[in-house]
């Protein structure tokens, strides 16, 4: 055995308590697998937020519609990267498309991803931006002219009929997109929920819990990005939009917390043989990340903040500061939710008699630096997307259409 690996194993052994099987000393799913559901959750959440404006006609959220779509795209592009870094050999990833294996949920992820990326997100963004792209191209100069020409796929038609068709297409894709977004993140929950050998994961509620935590994370991330980009552009924040975002974030948080509580109470009431080791896990290894960070700082405190700011007579400046802090806390909370699921589920032995520890490396393929890189990358991609496809109100070349009449 590799001496370095042996030394790692030895240091991990020092943190083992009770009895565990030899292959459980080291965790196989590292921080990269924590990042994967975190990123996909943000994608699904941001898309569902965008759909609120288009499908559910929440007009207050109009300033964040395009921003939410671009956020979803930026995070979606990075979402499979942690998996590829974890598995190695990214050049083989396309093989799952060549030989589809419908018996493997993990292998089908490629298709869920491809459907969501190509049929839902890219098409919706393309139809929504198409007319603008054509018009921007006319006034563009240099590289940007070429970029906009490529992104518009050489499209030229900006006749009222074509633009009307774009709007209908966007609406139709959004409607298809909602179940697709549910599928994307519900699927991630399904992967964990279907591991029947692991009592911490195996729950039919898992896809639904994942879904609502995705909505929570998506809304709070778009709120944060809207806040920061507006300030950086030295523009005025739309308080109506922020208030509505805060309201939806609060409602989603309430549902998310209720579902988690239901899951917890259900486990407690069932009291299967795993309950003792799970109790040790919750009050021992995960006490800080679950009880303190996820539940208290990541859920209850933001809920109190949001409710207090939303339904009080505080000045707008104060309100938006509170929204910002609450959204930031929600992000920390959601990240620790993913951590507690992925890492927590591997900390106890299948013998239900012992616990191990996760030792996060700094460097290496699955280390902290790669993880930070993968968390920063979506923001760089988003910055590029914002440059190519500015979602701001002043960049629009045609006014927002009035409600399309029923034919």
What is the nearest approach in angstroms of other proteins to the Cβ of residue 73?
16
Show the binding pattern over residues 139-158: x = contacts other proteins (CB under 8 A), - = does not.
Answer: --------------xxxxx-
- Residue 327 CB-half CA count within 13 A: 26
What is the nearest approach in angstroms of other proteins to the Cβ of residue 98?
5
Show the binding pattern over residues 178-197: x = contacts other proteins (CB under 8 A), - = does not.
Answer: x-------------------
- Residue 241 CB-half CA count within 13 A: 22
- 166 binds other proteins, rule: CB under 8 A: yes
Q: What are phi and psi of 354, to 5 degrees?
A: -155, 165
DSSP state, residue 116: I
- 56 binds other proteins, rule: CB under 8 A: yes
Q: Which stretch binds other proteins (CB under 8 A): 75-83, 93-101, 253-261, 320-328?
A: 93-101
- 129 binds other proteins, rule: CB under 8 A: no
- 111 binds other proteins, rule: CB under 8 A: no
Which is nearer to other proteins, 128 or 260 (by Cβ)? 128
Residue 154 falls in which region: left (phi positive, over 0), alpha (psi -120 to 50) or beta: left
Q: Which stretch binds other proteins (CB under 8 A): 71-79, 165-173, 263-271, 326-334?
A: 165-173
Q: Which stretch binds other proteins (CB under 8 A): 73-81, 89-97, 239-247, 364-372?
A: 89-97
Residue 40 CA: distances (Å) to CA of 124, 147, 328, 404:
18, 27, 18, 33
- Determine contact, residues 181/116, Cβ cutoff 8 Å: yes
Place of tokens 């599928």: 183
Q: How many residues contact other proteins, by CB under 8 A?
A: 37
Give the residue, chosen from 57, 196, 269, 402, that forms a contact with other proteins under the rule CB under 8 A.
Answer: 57
Tokens of 145: 């002219």
Which is nearer to other proteins, 173 or 327 (by Cβ)? 173
Which is nearer to other proteins, 66 or 320 (by Cβ)? 66
- 23 binds other proteins, rule: CB under 8 A: no
Give the residue, chosen from 14, 103, 143, 362, that forms a contact with other proteins under the rule CB under 8 A.
Answer: 103
Which is nearer to other proteins, 261 or 404 (by Cβ)? 404
Q: Which stretch binds other proteins (CB under 8 A): 8-16, 91-99, 226-234, 274-282?
A: 91-99
Nearest C-alpha neighbor of 174 from the set 77, 48, 39: 48
Q: Which stretch binds other proteins (CB under 8 A): 29-37, 79-87, 126-134, 327-335?
A: 126-134
- 126 binds other proteins, rule: CB under 8 A: yes
- 283 binds other proteins, rule: CB under 8 A: no
Strand locations in 63-135, DSSP E? Answer: none
- 105 binds other proteins, rule: CB under 8 A: no
Which is nearer to other proteins, 177 or 302 (by Cβ)? 177
Q: Which stretch binds other proteins (CB under 8 A): 33-41, 59-67, 169-177, 230-238?
A: 169-177
Q: Which residues make Cβ contacts (< 8 Å) with residue 193, sequence separation at least 6?
A: 201, 202, 203, 204, 205, 206, 207
Tokens of 89: 């050999």
Q: How many CB atoms lie within 10 A of CB 59?
A: 14
Q: How many CB atoms lie within 10 A of CB 111?
A: 13
- 124 binds other proteins, rule: CB under 8 A: no
Helix (H) or strand (E) segment spanning residue 17? strand 17-18
Q: Which stretch binds other proteins (CB under 8 A): 162-170, 210-218, 243-251, 330-338?
A: 162-170
178 vs 183: CA distance, rounded Å: 8
Greatest C-alpha distance within the chain: 73
253 vs 295: CA distance, rounded Å: 11
Q: How many CB atoms lie within 10 A of CB 222?
A: 27
- Determine contact, residues 359/12, Cβ cutoff 8 Å: yes
What is the contact surface with other proteins in residues (CB under 8 A)? Answer: 19, 21, 54-57, 94-95, 97-99, 101, 103, 118, 123, 126-127, 130, 153-157, 161-162, 165-166, 168-169, 171-172, 175, 178, 351, 404, 406-407
């Amino acid at each position: 055995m590799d001496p370095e690996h042996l030394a790692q194993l030895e240091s991990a052994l020092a943190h083992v308590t009770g009895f565990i099987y030899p292959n459980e000393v080291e965790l196989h799913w590292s921080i990269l697998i924590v990042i994967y559901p975190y990123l996909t959750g943000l994608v699904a959440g941001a898309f569902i937020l965008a759909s609120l404006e288009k499908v559910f006609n929440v007009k207050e959220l109009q300033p964040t519609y395009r921003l939410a779509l671009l956020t979803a795209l930026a995070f979606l592009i990075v979402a499979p990267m942690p998996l590829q870094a974890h598995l190695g050999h990214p050049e083989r990833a396309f093989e799952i498309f060549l030989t589809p294996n419908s018996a493997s949920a993990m292998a089908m992820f490629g298709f869920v991803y491809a459907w969501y990326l190509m049929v839902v997100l890219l098409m919706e963004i393309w139809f929504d931006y198409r007319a603008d792209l054509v018009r921007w191209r006319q006034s563009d100069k240099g590289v940007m002219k070429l970029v906009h020409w490529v992104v518009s796929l050489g499209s030229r038609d900006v006749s009222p009929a074509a633009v009307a068709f774009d709007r209908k297409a966007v609406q139709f894709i959004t409607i298809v997109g909602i179940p697709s977004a549910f599928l994307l993140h519900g699927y991630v929950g399904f992967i964990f929920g279907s591991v029947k050998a692991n009592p911490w994961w195996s729950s039919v509620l898992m896809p639904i819990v994942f879904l609502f935590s995705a909505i929570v994370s998506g809304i709070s991330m778009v709120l944060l990005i809207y806040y920061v980009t507006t300030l950086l552009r030295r523009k005025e924040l739309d308080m109506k939009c922020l208030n509505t975002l805060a309201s939806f974030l609060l409602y989603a948080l309430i549902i998310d917390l209720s579902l988690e509580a239901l899951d917890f109470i259900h486990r407690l009431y069932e009291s299967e043989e795993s309950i003792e080791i799970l109790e040790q896990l919750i009050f021992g290894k995960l006490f800080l990340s679950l009880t303190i960070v996820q539940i208290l700082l990541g859920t209850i405190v933001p809920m109190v903040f949001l409710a207090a700011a939303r339904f009080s007579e505080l000045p707008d400046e104060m309100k938006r500061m509170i929204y910002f802090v609450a959204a930031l806390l929600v992000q920390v909370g959601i990240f620790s939710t993913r951590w507690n699921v992925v890492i927590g589920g591997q900390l106890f032995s299948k013998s239900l008699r012992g616990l191990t520890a996760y030792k996060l490396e700094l460097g290496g393929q699955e280390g902290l630096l790669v993880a930070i890189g993968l968390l920063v990358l979506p923001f760089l991609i988003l910055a590029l997307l914002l440059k190519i496809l500015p979602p701001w109100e002043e960049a629009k070349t045609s006014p927002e259409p009035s409600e399309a009449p029923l034919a």
